[in-house]
Chains A and B, each alone.
Chain A
Amino acid sequence: MLGIALLGLLAARNVSANLAAAGMEIDFSFLWQEAGFDVSESLIGYSPRDTYARVLLVGILNTLAAAALILVLASGIGLFVGIAMTSSNWLVRTLARTYVELLRNLPKLLIVIALYVAMVRSLPHIRSAWTSPFGAMLSNRGLVLPWPIIEQGGQALAMAACLWLAGAFLWLRAARLHQDRTGERRPVFLPVVAAAASLYAALDLTGTLHVTWSVPKLAGFNVTGGVSLSLQFTALVVALSVYHGGQIGAIVRGGIIATSHGQREAAQALGLDWLKTMRLIVLPQALRVITPPLGNQYSNLLKNTSIALAIGYSDLLSVVSTSVNQTFRPIELMVLVAAFFLIANLLISALVNWCDHAFRLKAR
């Protein structure tokens, strides 16, 4: 104990001696200086004339954007693969297991780099980009998706959305109360979707709302319209979704297997079909088991977005790396990075604890 404290003291003394020799001290004011380098893409306005603080914010937002998208896609893939792994169909089960085993044993960096290199080399030039029926374009510059633009009635749409959310919530509560009282299940999904569709149709038909789709179009050597995702972003998101999808699949499988077989047989005996058995009996119980490992997986996923550096996507660590090289303030920048990831992880584990608590078996 004493030894560790002494070592720490020595390191601190060395740091200050080293910094003093270089004529520097720990100082965060460089954050307000001009950064002077550009980023691959940014969610907020950014130019090289902006400050280091701004470029770090750009990096944080890029990291969060990629992580959020990967989280959704990987969870979808994981759910699908996890269910496929417990399928009664041997072929499907074996394929899913092969997928999980394969990705468990491959480095994520290899997947990201292999995908990125393959995309750079084999995707067509922008002028002969692959176009999908709805107008999405994929070329070696990246992916461009069609995007809705609200020309008029944005406020009305927002109000309708709030109304719809409140209505859906009330309907859900009423349906649950009704089920608790009588045991009869009222439809939830269809009425809620129908309400959304009819609200939208009403706004559209009365002319309050006017939405046009901005479809990407080729103009010379550029694409106009739509929302553009860079090749680096696309490669990172696809690769990490596939990678974490496999790991989440293994977790989901574990959760499904942990629910006793009797439960499934009882559901079948009650005449529930496969979808209802999954949705009402198996998955809610599996959720209880998988919440903690899933939370762990989500925090890994956030951390793993940092390999974006290898393919040039401007995530937090990649802008930090450039900033370190320019300012030589590694200690300050590393403290900021550590603080960001610590806070993000604390938030994730708080959320997981809350979910864990909410899903726990309530004995009445």
Chain B
Amino acid sequence: MTLTVETIARANTPPRKGLAPMLGWLRQNLFSSWWNTVLTVVTLALLVLFAWSALTWVVLEAIPFSGSRAECLNATGACWAFLSEKANLVLTGTYPAAERWRAQLASGLIIVTILVFALVPMRLAIRAAMVVGTAVLSYLLLRGGFAGLPFVESHRWNGLPLILFLSAFTMAAAFPLGILLALARWSQHRALNLAAVAYIETVRAIPMVAVLFAGIFVLPLLLTRGATIEPVAAILIVLTLFYAAYFAEDIRSGLQALPKGQIEAGASLGLTAAQRIRLIVLPQALRTAIPGMTNTIIGSFKDTSLVAIVGMHDLLSTARMAYADPLWQAYALEANIAIGLFYFLCCWMISERARRLGHGAGKLG
């Protein structure tokens, strides 16, 4: 085709200055045929229309964070003042106002732990200790009941600390469990293999909402008579069991991609079975499984919001509380956009970090 010839010819001429290369790009990418031109014009028209009305709503006719309710009543744009008015309610929900600093501190602690975990290379044992330490510390901080900190019931742990606590520590607990499950499925041991397959496939067939229900209603029945379990703990347990199956499936694909010679080479070097798994199998399998596991982590972080369905107040429900206020009823969209932005940024950061991990030196550390 003439296009190819043209491209080669152009590549041999020295690059021209000014507008010409840009025009060439425009022609190639937007106006290469009459059909493409029509497509571009129509899309551009719709886009401009949308962008203009979005800009008007979000910025031009909106009331900024510093505004007041009176101003919002007359505005035709967004009311961002609603968010600053309700920031505390959305972030920590019904956590007692006087103790709010504890919820904020716990959130901060978990965020810092996640960042350190993701960015600073360190030994596995230290990593594990850090995660367990943060889990215990943030739990005690949220719960209180010692050293002069008043006790706060777990159903008042709302909003940001709740979703951070649940998603961070279910992931941390589900990951090792997922490795064990994947290894069980991968092993030659017949009974172990069968049990792992049955568990993984059953869990993956059931919707998360059903699993949450099981946590609230069925799990308490499994305990010794008279023993009780807080809903938060029950949810933490069932979500860990749930996501372990998903991690196991991701890791299995990594295990399957492992050449058999690797294990044989390990055996011929005289490594024991445990050493082979720790030093040869897992490092390679986990690296192959990074894209799948990233999807699972993002999915689970997003789906932690489903705990709202069993009556725990995550960010979506605290936002709902905020726009249930009769004075601020009209601003549901603003709240939902803010929550959406939060999830978008978090998920985007997770996938960016995972992409680097996949490209980088390849040490999970």
Q: Can you list 6 pairs linking A and B with CB atoms under 8 Å apart?
A: A19-B221, A87-B39, A89-B39, A320-B210, A334-B217, A346-B205
**Nearest chain-A residue to B184 (Cβ)?**
A1
Tell me the complex Cα distance, A356–B192, Å.
29
Q: Assess whether A91 is in contact with B208, with CB atoms less than 8 Å apart.
A: no
A288 within 8 A of B: no
Contact with A along B165-195 (1 / 0, CB 8 A): 0000000000000000000000000011001
Kindly list chain A residues whose C-beta atoms are within 8 Å of the C-beta of B224.
14, 17
Given contacts A110-B340, A307-B309, contact A14 B225 (CB under 8 A): yes
Checking B1, B36, B218, B302 against A108 with a beta-carbon cut-off of 8 angstroms, the contacting residue is B302
Kindly list chain A residues whose C-beta atoms are within 8 Å of the C-beta of B152.
none
Kindly list chain A residues whose C-beta atoms are within 8 Å of the C-beta of B217.
324, 330, 334
Tell me the complex Cα distance, A309–B306, Å.
10
Stretch in B7-15, B79-87, B255-263, B341-349 with 4+ CB within 8 Å of A: B341-349
Given contacts A106-B302, A114-B336, contact A331 B43 (CB under 8 A): no
Question: How many of chain B's residues touch chain A, expressed as a range?
Answer: 35 or more
Q: Assess whether B298 is in contact with A341, with CB atoms less than 8 Å apart.
A: no
Tell me the complex Cα distance, A309–B332, Å.
20
Q: Assess whether B36 is in contact with A117, with CB atoms less than 8 Å apart.
A: no
Q: Assess whether B222 is in contact with A15, with CB atoms less than 8 Å apart.
A: yes
A212 within 8 A of B: no
Checking B1, B204, B316 against A110 with a beta-carbon cut-off of 8 angstroms, the contacting residue is B316
In the assembled complex, the CB of A184 is this many whole angstroms from the nearest CB of chain B, namely 26
**Nearest chain-A residue to B347 (Cβ)?**
A105
Q: Assess whether B303 is in contact with A107, with CB atoms less than 8 Å apart.
A: yes
Contact with B along A91-102 (1 / 0, CB 8 A): 110010000001
Given contacts A106-B302, A303-B208, contact A14 B222 (CB under 8 A): yes
Main secondary structure, interface of B, reads: helix
Q: Assess whether A114 is in contact with B309, with CB atoms less than 8 Å apart.
A: no
Q: Assess whether B43 is in contact with A330, with CB atoms less than 8 Å apart.
A: no
Given contacts A95-B47, A106-B344, A330-B213, contact A18 B221 (CB under 8 A): yes
Given contacts A91-B44, A341-B207, contact A114 B306 (CB under 8 A): no
Kindly list chain A residues whose C-beta atoms are within 8 Å of the C-beta of B40.
89, 91-92
Tell me the complex Cα distance, A11–B241, Å.
15
A299 within 8 A of B: yes
Q: Assess whether A304 is in contact with B207, with CB atoms less than 8 Å apart.
A: yes
Checking A1, A321, A331 against B218 with a beta-carbon cut-off of 8 angstroms, the contacting residue is A331
Contact with A along B326-353 (1 / 0, CB 8 A): 0000101100100110011001100100
Kindly list chain A residues whose C-beta atoms are within 8 Å of the C-beta of B348.
105
Which residues 322-364 of A sit at the B interface, judged by CB distance below 8 A? Answer: 324, 330-331, 334, 337-338, 341-342, 344-346
Q: Assess whether A104 is in contact with B347, with CB atoms less than 8 Å apart.
A: yes
Checking B223, B320, B332 against A121 with a beta-carbon cut-off of 8 angstroms, the contacting residue is B332
Q: Assess whether A107 is in contact with B302, with CB atoms less than 8 Å apart.
A: yes
B114 within 8 A of A: no
Kindly list chain B residues whose C-beta atoms are within 8 Å of the C-beta of A188.
none
Q: Assess whether B191 is in contact with A1, with CB atoms less than 8 Å apart.
A: yes
Q: Assess whether A345 is in contact with B205, with CB atoms less than 8 Å apart.
A: yes
Interface on B for A, CB 8 Å cutoff?
1, 29-30, 32, 36, 39-40, 43-44, 47, 191-192, 195, 202, 204-210, 213-214, 217-218, 221-225, 298, 302-303, 305-306, 308-309, 316, 320, 323, 330, 332-333, 336, 339-340, 343-344, 347-348, 351
Q: Assess whether B205 is in contact with A299, with CB atoms less than 8 Å apart.
A: yes
Which residues 100-156 of A sit at the B interface, judged by CB distance below 8 A? Answer: 102, 104-110, 113-114, 117-118, 121
| Most chain B CB inside 10 Å of its own CB: which residue of A89, A121, A337 | A89
Which residues 1-33 of A sit at the B interface, judged by CB distance below 8 A? Answer: 1, 4, 11, 14-15, 17-19, 21
Q: Assess whether B206 is in contact with A109, with CB atoms less than 8 Å apart.
A: no
In the assembled complex, the CB of A248 is this many whole angstroms from the nearest CB of chain B, namely 15
Tell me the complex Cα distance, A342–B339, Å.
33
Q: Assess whether A107 is in contact with B210, with CB atoms less than 8 Å apart.
A: no
Checking B191, B225, B302, B309 against A21 with a beta-carbon cut-off of 8 angstroms, the contacting residue is B225
Tell me the complex Cα distance, A105–B202, Å.
27
**Nearest chain-B residue to A103 (Cβ)?**
B344
Besides A14-B222, A14-B224, A92-B43, 6 new A-B residue pairs in contact (Cβ under 8 A), listed by A number: A89-B40, A105-B351, A106-B340, A117-B323, A321-B213, A334-B214
Given contacts A105-B344, A110-B336, A303-B208, contact A11 B29 (CB under 8 A): no
Kindly list chain A residues whose C-beta atoms are within 8 Å of the C-beta of B210.
306, 317, 320, 334, 337-338, 341
Tell me the complex Cα distance, A4–B204, Å.
20
In the assembled complex, the CB of A141 is this many whole angstroms from the nearest CB of chain B, namely 19
Q: Assess whether A15 is in contact with B221, with CB atoms less than 8 Å apart.
A: yes
| Most chain A CB inside 10 Å of its own CB: which residue of B204, B217, B224, B303 | B217
A170 within 8 A of B: no
Q: Assess whether B30 is in contact with A342, with CB atoms less than 8 Å apart.
A: no
Tell me the complex Cα distance, A109–B218, Å.
24
Tell me the complex Cα distance, A17–B202, Å.
26
Checking A91, A299, A321, A334 against B30 with a beta-carbon cut-off of 8 angstroms, the contacting residue is A91
Kindly list chain B residues whose C-beta atoms are within 8 Å of the C-beta of A89.
29-30, 32, 36, 39-40, 43
Kindly list chain A residues whose C-beta atoms are within 8 Å of the C-beta of B351.
105
In the assembled complex, the CB of B35 is this many whole angstroms from the nearest CB of chain A, namely 8
Kindly list chain A residues whose C-beta atoms are within 8 Å of the C-beta of B222.
11, 14-15
In the assembled complex, the CB of B176 is this many whole angstroms from the nearest CB of chain A, namely 15
| Most chain B CB inside 10 Å of its own CB: which residue of A95, A105, A331 | A105
